[in-house]
Structure 1
Amino acid sequence: MTEFRYGPVELYLVGFEGERPDPGVMEALIELVSTDKVNLLDLMLISKSDDGDVTIIEIEDGDDFGLGEIALGAAGITGEEDVAELAELVPPGANAMLVAFELAFQRELASKVAASGGVVLSAERIPAPIVNAIADAVEDEGE
Structure 2
Amino acid sequence: MGPVEFLVLAFPGERIGPDVVAPLTALRRSGGVRVIDTLVVVKAADGSVSAAELAEFEHLKDVAPAGDSLNLMGEEDAAEAAELLEPGSSALLILVEHVWASEAAEAFRSAGGRVAASVRIPPEHITEAHQALANAS
- The whole-number CA distance in structure 2 between the counterparts of 1:69 and 1:25 is 11
Counterpart of 1:92, as a letter, is P
Q: Does the aligned pair in 1 maintain the 2:28–2:63 contact within 8 Å?
A: no
Q: Are 1:17 and 2:12 counterparts?
A: yes
Judge which range, 22-31 or 65-74, deviates more: 65-74
Gaps of 5+ in 2: none
After superposition, the Cα gap between the structure-2 partners of 1:112 and 1:80, relative to the gap in structure 1 and judged at 3 Å, is farther
Counterpart of 1:66, as a letter, is L
**Shift of the alpha carbon at 1:104?**
0.3
**Shift of the alpha carbon at 1:24?**
2.1
1:26-65 to structure 2, matched below 5 A, reads 26-50=21-45, 52-60=47-55, 64-65=58-59
Aligned length: 136
Q: CA RMSD in A?
A: 2.7
Q: Does the aligned pair in 2 maintain the 1:38–1:103 contact within 8 Å?
A: yes
- The whole-number CA distance in structure 2 between the counterparts of 1:96 and 1:87 is 8
Q: Are 1:135 and 2:125 counterparts?
A: no
> 55, 60, 64: which one pairs with 1:66?
60
Identity percentage of aligned residues: 31
After superposition, the Cα gap between the structure-2 partners of 1:116 and 1:81, relative to the gap in structure 1 and judged at 3 Å, is farther
